[in-house]
Amino acid sequence: MRRKVTSGILLLLTFITNILCSQPSFPDKGQVFVDSIVPRIDIFINPDTLQWIYDNPESNTEFHANFIFDNGIIKDTVIDVGFRLRGNTSRWAAKKSFKVSFNKFEPGRKYYGLEKLNLNGEHNDPSVIRAKLCWDLLREFDIPAPRSNHVLVYINNNYYGLYINVEHIDEEFVDSRFGNQDGNLYKCLWPADLDYLGSNPDLYKFTAGERRAYALKTNVLQDDYSDLAHFIDVLNNTPDEQLVCELDKVFNIYDYLKIIAVDIFTGNWDGYIYNKNNFYLYHNTQTGKFEYIPYDPDNTYGIDWFGRDWGTRNIYDWQQHGGEVRPLYTRLISNSKLKDQFSFYLNKLITEYTDENLFFPRMDEIKEKITPYVEVDPYYTLDYGYTISDFHNSYIQALGGHVTYGLKPYIQIRNSTAIEQLILNSINPVIKYIGNRKLFIGQNLWVRAYVEDEDTNPEVKLVYTINYGSSQFKFMYDDGEHFDGEEGDKIYGGVILDIPVNTTIKYRISAEDNFGYYSIMPCSPVIVELLESEEPALYINEFMASNDSTIADEYGEYDDWIEIYNGDEEQVWLGDKYLSDNLQNPDKWQMPDINLEPGDFILIWADNDPEQGANHTDFKLDIDGEEIGIFDAENTGFFFIDTITFGQQITDVSFGREPDGGYEWIFYIIPTPGYSNVTGSIVEIFNSDNLIKVYPNPVNNGIVYFDKSLNFQLFNSVGQLIARGTKVRSIDVHCLNKGIYFIVTDEGVNIKLMIQ
């Protein structure tokens, strides 16, 4: 039973503003990473446990501890966090680094949206500022990087020193930056050179020591490395003339060019380019591209363990030599257009972000703020014998050993030598973050893109075809009035008007500057379709918005659930359909890639734990009432297949259709998750130790009696409270309409009452 629908029924969704755009977000510092002051973190842990942690530096075992955070505005206590050592060489240092896990002993718990914190001792850095400068610079340069601040760490009321508090890179991090967390996140440590090993994804699961070089941190049960293998294949094996087009399909090239610029400016030899180490790759499921995320930039600004001069090293030949391969750096720098764009970014970084007249005052401000806490740091002197004089001198001169530059001299020399080495040519405009607003029936197609060039006013066009016709174009604008953000923010917007049903649009973005340099991206056009929906007969058949003891998921958790029923005469593929608890956001959660057979049911866990599997959504249900909707594929304009708006619900009582796929909704005292709602029973008593007799039931009119005095609430079939009573033995129901009602007693007894 399928019917084609072409009407403008989706007009109720006209306020949807979701955008298919790859531009990252940058959350503010919030309370945890405020850096106008130096917050205090207290850890309270059993002293014997703390001693064991110090005696076993290689252990990653997390122990029970209590956590207090005080920034002068808030003072919070979090009971029972996980606490352990973190890092590599710092595990054997006197000043160790620590990890705090808020969700270790209470799964799902977060502190200001964070599951973990990294407290880094920075024992190699006498200035205690290098990593903070790197993280701040990356964010200022519009690279999604962790937030950070200096904090005071106390353990059992003993001062352990000045630390840098760094945001943990995990599924919460990528969700806050890229708007999704269901992609593969790889932590890449030495020797992660991105060299091609073969087409078999398992080849990239090789280990170095006791860990994988490319360690999968999300979707670990699937353990599927096929996306990484494909990316590495494209990176290494694509012919030079096709590299930009093919790599752009699977990797965010242009943001990585900016990261190269930052790595070379800061002398970050312990990252990918030199040491094949310390980075993350995230497969952004919204764009289909991998994102490069920098990690652990403490060995920077003149810190050296290799005998190299990072202040003068050639910016175009910065990788490690001696037969080492670094395809992500060398292949991009070998491409003339990408090399010119990298040079543009490095020049911009030097002249607009790190000029000493701009950069040094910020550095001095941080130094002044942290100096009192370094002066009394009991661990500061222990690893290299640093004194407070060394702290002050480290900003202006080398200290010997691995500190080959003072901070300020390094920046001055690196900037001057980079300017000498730079080969600056006019660039082809950079076009990135291409996306469009989701298209609905009868609406316009709004498109936008980020365009950057040395010419501040390039001519930008939306180039498109409709239904494979001739090429057309619309001008795009950066004036704040064309779906383009704020005026002058380099985000350009344009529109194609009045898109009818059964339309296929292909579009690209072109940009030409005043010097005649031209770009058009992406190489393969973006395809947007608005097709008819066949509206399969899928039903929200039953759900429970408060599951305390009815049914547990595969993890033993009693979560909200939604049952979907296929009332069609043929199987329905769910993989291109969506489930949402917000009708204004229809594509909130994509359904599993399965076929649902006619008459079958699927149980979906509405638990906001998508990492637990394909049947776990990224939202929960509200016992006080909300809405649920099933929506068709994106190319139908997210045509709605079935929706319900419901009111107050009862714990461990489900709300469902009677019969399966029927029009009437009733409460089910005995829920049937994953099975038919047809039970054949009228009087149902659930979760009762002492049965209560209700008679007559069904009742035609008049009075219903109980066999003992009780306190009760009476609900109708949509969850509205109709009446309540205290110490009564009867209910007068002659004024109530026919239908199903529910009597809920203070003892937790739930009784279905039918009025005929």
- Distances in whole angstroms, Cα of residue 674 to Cα of each of 15, 513, 537, 549, 573: 34, 60, 17, 16, 18
Structural domain boundaries in the chain: 9-22+431-530, 40-421, 538-668, 685-755
Instruction: Count Cα neighbours of 275 within 13 Å in the Cβ-side half-sphere.
Output: 22
Please, are residues 112 and 135 in contact by the beta-carbon 8 Å criterion?
A: no
* Residues in the chain with pLDDT values less than 70: 1-22, 440-442, 679-693, 701, 707, 717-719, 747-749
- State whether the Cα torsion 592-20-433-24 is positive or negative: negative
- Token output for 140: 């200022």
* 3 state DSSP class of 444: coil
Domains 9-22+431-530 and 685-755 are alike in CATH topology: yes
Q: Within 10 A of 210 (CB to CB), how many other CB atoms are there?
A: 6
- Token output for 82: 């996980």
Residue 374, beta-bridge partner list: none
| Cα distance between the two ends of the chain | 33
Host H or E run for residue 226: helix 226-237
Give the pLDDT score at 732: 80
Give the pLDDT score at 26: 94
Q: Which residue has the tokens 């003892």?
A: 747
Please, are residues 596 and 603 in contact by the beta-carbon 8 Å criterion?
A: no
d(CA 338, CA 344): 10
Backbone angles phi, psi at 746, to 5 degrees: -65, -20
DSSP annotation of 701: S
Long-range residue pairs from 691-699, CB within 8 A, at least 24 positions apart, any chain: 691/749, 692/745, 692/749, 692/751, 694/743, 694/751, 694/753, 697/751, 697/753, 697/754, 698/753, 698/754, 698/755, 698/756, 699/733, 699/753, 699/754, 699/755, 699/756
Whether the link from the prior residue into 659 is cis, omega within 30° of 0, is yes
* 3 state DSSP class of 249: helix
CATH topology of domain 9-22+431-530: Immunoglobulin-like (2.60.40)
Instruction: Count Cα neighbours of 539 within 13 Å in the Cβ-side half-sphere.
Output: 25
- Token output for 157: 């009321």
d(CA 448, CA 25): 16
Q: Give me the DSSP letters along 612-681.
A: G-TTB-S-B--TT--EEEEE--GGGTS-EEEEEE-----TT-EEEEESTT-SEEEEESS--TTS-S----
**If DSSP states are collapsed to H, E and C, what string results for 728-756?**
EEEEECCCCCCEEEEEEECCCCEEEEEEC
Give the pLDDT score at 288: 95
DSSP annotation of 104: S
Select from 2.40.160, 2.30.30, 3.30.56, 2.60.40 the CATH code of 538-668.
Answer: 2.60.40
**Where does 685-755 sit in CATH, by number?**
2.60.40.1930
d(CA 238, CA 240): 6
Give the pLDDT score at 442: 66
d(CA 329, CA 326): 6
d(CA 120, CA 539): 52
Give the pLDDT score at 724: 80
Q: Which residue has the tokens 């509205």?
A: 720
Please, are residues 188 and 213 in contact by the beta-carbon 8 Å criterion?
A: yes
Q: Give me the DSSP letters along 54-65.
A: HH-TT----EEE
Please, are residues 607 and 560 in contact by the beta-carbon 8 Å criterion?
A: yes
Please, are residues 502 and 509 in contact by the beta-carbon 8 Å criterion?
A: no
- Distances in whole angstroms, Cα of residue 258 to Cα of each of 292, 534, 554: 11, 46, 44
Angle, helices 356-375 vs 407-421, to 10°: value is: 160
